[in-house]
Amino acid sequence: MELRSLQDLLVFELKDLYSAEQQILDVLPRMAEAASHPALRNAFEQHESVTREQVRRLERIFEELGESPKGHKCKGMEGLIREGRDLIAQEADAAVRDAGLIGAAQRIEHYEIAGYGTARTFAERLGMDEAARLLQQTLDEEGETDHRLTGLAEQIINPAAQRRL
Protein backbone atom coordinates (compact mmCIF):
# COMPACT_ATOMS: atom_id res chain seq x y z
CA MET A 1 0.00 0.00 0.00
CA GLU A 2 1.35 3.39 -1.00
CA LEU A 3 0.89 6.21 1.48
CA ARG A 4 0.40 9.34 -0.61
CA SER A 5 -2.11 11.16 1.53
CA LEU A 6 -3.41 11.47 5.06
CA GLN A 7 -6.41 9.40 3.98
CA ASP A 8 -4.08 6.63 2.80
CA LEU A 9 -2.39 6.75 6.20
CA LEU A 10 -5.78 6.62 7.93
CA VAL A 11 -6.72 3.49 5.97
CA PHE A 12 -3.35 1.96 6.86
CA GLU A 13 -3.95 2.71 10.56
CA LEU A 14 -7.48 1.33 10.40
CA LYS A 15 -6.25 -1.90 8.80
CA ASP A 16 -3.68 -2.20 11.59
CA LEU A 17 -6.42 -1.72 14.19
CA TYR A 18 -8.71 -4.21 12.47
CA SER A 19 -5.96 -6.84 12.46
CA ALA A 20 -5.18 -6.07 16.10
CA GLU A 21 -8.82 -6.50 17.10
CA GLN A 22 -9.06 -9.83 15.26
CA GLN A 23 -6.00 -11.07 17.12
CA ILE A 24 -7.46 -9.87 20.42
CA LEU A 25 -10.69 -11.75 19.76
CA ASP A 26 -8.60 -14.88 19.32
CA VAL A 27 -6.70 -14.48 22.61
CA LEU A 28 -9.38 -13.12 24.98
CA PRO A 29 -11.01 -16.53 25.60
CA ARG A 30 -7.58 -17.95 26.50
CA MET A 31 -6.94 -15.08 28.89
CA ALA A 32 -10.35 -15.60 30.49
CA GLU A 33 -9.65 -19.31 30.88
CA ALA A 34 -6.24 -18.62 32.43
CA ALA A 35 -7.65 -16.11 34.94
CA SER A 36 -8.34 -17.59 38.35
CA HIS A 37 -10.24 -14.69 39.93
CA PRO A 38 -13.89 -14.57 38.79
CA ALA A 39 -13.87 -10.76 38.46
CA LEU A 40 -10.87 -10.87 36.12
CA ARG A 41 -12.36 -13.73 34.11
CA ASN A 42 -15.59 -11.71 33.83
CA ALA A 43 -13.67 -8.61 32.69
CA PHE A 44 -12.02 -10.57 29.88
CA GLU A 45 -15.33 -12.15 28.85
CA GLN A 46 -17.11 -8.79 28.81
CA HIS A 47 -14.30 -7.21 26.83
CA GLU A 48 -14.72 -9.88 24.17
CA SER A 49 -18.27 -8.69 23.43
CA VAL A 50 -17.11 -5.05 23.50
CA THR A 51 -14.32 -5.95 21.06
CA ARG A 52 -16.82 -7.58 18.68
CA GLU A 53 -18.74 -4.29 18.59
CA GLN A 54 -15.52 -2.38 17.98
CA VAL A 55 -14.81 -4.62 14.98
CA ARG A 56 -18.29 -3.84 13.64
CA ARG A 57 -17.56 -0.11 13.98
CA LEU A 58 -14.34 -0.50 12.05
CA GLU A 59 -16.20 -2.43 9.35
CA ARG A 60 -18.71 0.45 9.10
CA ILE A 61 -15.86 2.91 8.61
CA PHE A 62 -14.26 0.72 5.94
CA GLU A 63 -17.61 0.46 4.18
CA GLU A 64 -17.99 4.27 4.20
CA LEU A 65 -14.45 4.60 2.80
CA GLY A 66 -15.07 1.93 0.14
CA GLU A 67 -12.07 0.00 1.43
CA SER A 68 -11.45 -3.55 2.61
CA PRO A 69 -10.27 -4.12 6.18
CA LYS A 70 -8.23 -7.15 5.07
CA GLY A 71 -4.67 -7.45 3.87
CA HIS A 72 -2.59 -6.25 6.81
CA LYS A 73 -1.10 -8.02 9.85
CA CYS A 74 -0.56 -5.95 12.99
CA LYS A 75 2.89 -7.05 14.09
CA GLY A 76 2.82 -4.93 17.23
CA MET A 77 -0.26 -6.70 18.54
CA GLU A 78 1.18 -10.03 17.45
CA GLY A 79 4.17 -9.39 19.72
CA LEU A 80 2.06 -8.26 22.66
CA ILE A 81 -0.14 -11.32 22.37
CA ARG A 82 2.89 -13.61 22.10
CA GLU A 83 4.14 -12.15 25.39
CA GLY A 84 0.74 -12.78 26.97
CA ARG A 85 0.73 -16.37 25.78
CA ASP A 86 4.24 -16.83 27.17
CA LEU A 87 2.97 -15.59 30.53
CA ILE A 88 0.03 -18.00 30.48
CA ALA A 89 2.44 -20.88 29.82
CA GLN A 90 4.58 -20.05 32.87
CA GLU A 91 4.34 -22.10 36.03
CA ALA A 92 2.84 -19.55 38.44
CA ASP A 93 0.73 -19.06 41.52
CA ALA A 94 -2.84 -18.26 40.45
CA ALA A 95 -2.91 -14.75 41.96
CA VAL A 96 0.52 -13.95 40.54
CA ARG A 97 -0.59 -15.15 37.09
CA ASP A 98 -3.71 -12.96 37.38
CA ALA A 99 -1.50 -9.95 38.15
CA GLY A 100 0.60 -10.78 35.09
CA LEU A 101 -2.50 -11.18 32.93
CA ILE A 102 -3.66 -7.71 33.92
CA GLY A 103 -0.26 -6.30 32.97
CA ALA A 104 -0.38 -8.05 29.59
CA ALA A 105 -3.95 -6.88 28.98
CA GLN A 106 -3.09 -3.29 29.88
CA ARG A 107 -0.16 -3.26 27.44
CA ILE A 108 -2.64 -4.38 24.78
CA GLU A 109 -5.13 -1.68 25.82
CA HIS A 110 -2.47 1.04 25.73
CA TYR A 111 -1.42 -0.04 22.24
CA GLU A 112 -5.04 0.20 21.13
CA ILE A 113 -5.54 3.57 22.81
CA ALA A 114 -2.55 4.97 20.90
CA GLY A 115 -3.83 3.54 17.60
CA TYR A 116 -7.42 4.67 18.01
CA GLY A 117 -6.33 8.13 19.13
CA THR A 118 -4.15 8.50 16.05
CA ALA A 119 -6.85 7.26 13.68
CA ARG A 120 -9.48 9.51 15.29
CA THR A 121 -7.23 12.54 14.89
CA PHE A 122 -6.63 11.73 11.22
CA ALA A 123 -10.38 11.29 10.64
CA GLU A 124 -11.09 14.63 12.33
CA ARG A 125 -8.45 16.36 10.21
CA LEU A 126 -10.00 14.88 7.07
CA GLY A 127 -13.51 16.05 8.04
CA MET A 128 -14.77 12.50 8.48
CA ASP A 129 -17.00 13.32 11.41
CA GLU A 130 -18.85 9.99 11.61
CA ALA A 131 -15.64 7.97 11.46
CA ALA A 132 -14.09 10.23 14.12
CA ARG A 133 -17.16 9.77 16.34
CA LEU A 134 -17.03 5.97 16.00
CA LEU A 135 -13.30 5.90 16.69
CA GLN A 136 -13.76 8.12 19.75
CA GLN A 137 -16.46 5.76 21.03
CA THR A 138 -14.00 2.87 20.82
CA LEU A 139 -11.25 4.99 22.34
CA ASP A 140 -13.53 5.72 25.30
CA GLU A 141 -14.27 2.01 25.74
CA GLU A 142 -10.59 1.11 25.66
CA GLY A 143 -9.94 3.72 28.35
CA GLU A 144 -12.77 2.32 30.46
CA THR A 145 -11.33 -1.18 30.14
CA ASP A 146 -7.90 0.07 31.18
CA HIS A 147 -9.39 1.79 34.25
CA ARG A 148 -11.37 -1.33 35.13
CA LEU A 149 -8.24 -3.46 34.95
CA THR A 150 -6.35 -0.94 37.09
CA GLY A 151 -9.11 -1.09 39.70
CA LEU A 152 -9.05 -4.89 39.76
CA ALA A 153 -5.26 -4.88 40.07
CA GLU A 154 -5.10 -2.31 42.84
CA GLN A 155 -8.06 -3.50 44.90
CA ILE A 156 -8.03 -7.29 44.51
CA ILE A 157 -5.40 -8.98 42.36
CA ASN A 158 -2.12 -7.30 43.35
CA PRO A 159 -2.83 -7.54 47.11
CA ALA A 160 -3.59 -11.25 46.68
CA ALA A 161 -0.37 -11.76 44.68
CA GLN A 162 1.61 -9.81 47.29
CA ARG A 163 0.40 -12.13 50.07
CA ARG A 164 2.19 -14.95 48.24
CA LEU A 165 5.57 -13.71 49.53
pLDDT digits (tens, 9 = 90+) for 112-160: 999 999 999 999 999 999 999 999 999 999 999 999 999 999 999 999 9
Task: List the CATH number of the domain containing 104.
Answer: 1.20.1260.10
Is 42 part of any domain? yes
**Would you say how long the chain is, in residues?**
165
Angle at 56 between CA 21 and CA 5, to 5 degrees: 75
Is 141 part of any domain? yes
Which domain range does residue 56 map to? Answer: 6-162
User: What's the mean pLDDT in 33-41?
Assistant: 96
Is 76 part of any domain? yes
Q: How many domains does the chain have?
A: 1
Q: What's the first-to-final CA gap in the chain, in angstroms? A: 52
Is 1 part of any domain? no
| pTM recorded for the entire structure | 0.94
Is 23 part of any domain? yes
Please answer whether residues 14 and 21 qualify as being in contact, where contact means their C-beta atoms are separated by less than 8 angstroms. Answer: no
Is 150 part of any domain? yes
Is 47 part of any domain? yes
- Crossing angle between the packed helical segments 6-34 and 38-65, to the nearest 10 degrees: 160
| Count of CA atoms in the C-beta half-sphere (13 A) of 130 | 9
